[in-house]
Amino acid sequence: MPVRRFALLLSLVACQCLAAPADDEMPPPVPVSAGFLAQWSGSLSSQFSVARQSVGEKAGDMLTQAMGLLGVPYRRGGTSEETGFDCSGFVRHLYEKSFGRLLPRRADEQAKATETIERSELKPGDLVFFNTMKRAFSHVGIYVGDGKFIHAPRAGKAIRVDDMRSAYWQKRFNGARRVQTEDAQR
């Protein structure tokens, strides 16, 4: 038991990915309807070139898994489907599970370990970063397409989809990044 408590304490100390602030500042979550999911999954194939088809398929699988986690609670330092995720733990979990790529634990480290891309280049599966705690790259999510991203927002909330075009997220947008996978490097 002492080892378990130490591991929990260590994960809380090591994780500096802080969540978005109070609800009065954040826009409401984007409602995710069956129509949105159908439109989103149907548009994935057109988002990727033939040369990157296997990456596109894996990104689609990853986003399907991510959508299956809608409603899983936020938990600071969290890294599992059973107990909850924080923002960087959510991203790390999905990339490891889908691509076998282990990303760094913190959002700012994930930004440093990935390729910078322009906002106009975003494709489903890319990472989007925000300054929610008065420091760059303090929050991360996964772009799902159509200006929306999925993320673990903050304590008391659950994994959800938000629109990056809302005033709140536009003001805090830090940049977009692409995770280089083995398939993409070939």
| pLDDT tens track for 1-48 | 343 333 333 333 334 444 455 555 666 666 655 555 555 455 544 444
139 is catalytic: yes
User: Per 3-state DSSP, what percentage of the chain is helix, strand, and coil (rounded to 5)?
Assistant: 40, 20, 40
Spatial contact of 30 and 163, defined as CB atoms under 8 Å apart: yes
Q: Which of 15, 17, 87, 93 is catalytic?
A: 87
Q: What is the mean pLDDT of residues 56-64?
A: 91
93 is catalytic: no
pLDDT of 111 above 60? yes
CATH superfamily membership of 2-185:
endopeptidase domain like (from Nostoc punctiforme) (3.90.1720.10)
CA–CA dist 179, 110 (Å, integer) = 9
Per-residue pLDDT reduced to its tens digit, 73-107: 999 999 999 999 999 999 999 999 999 999 999 99
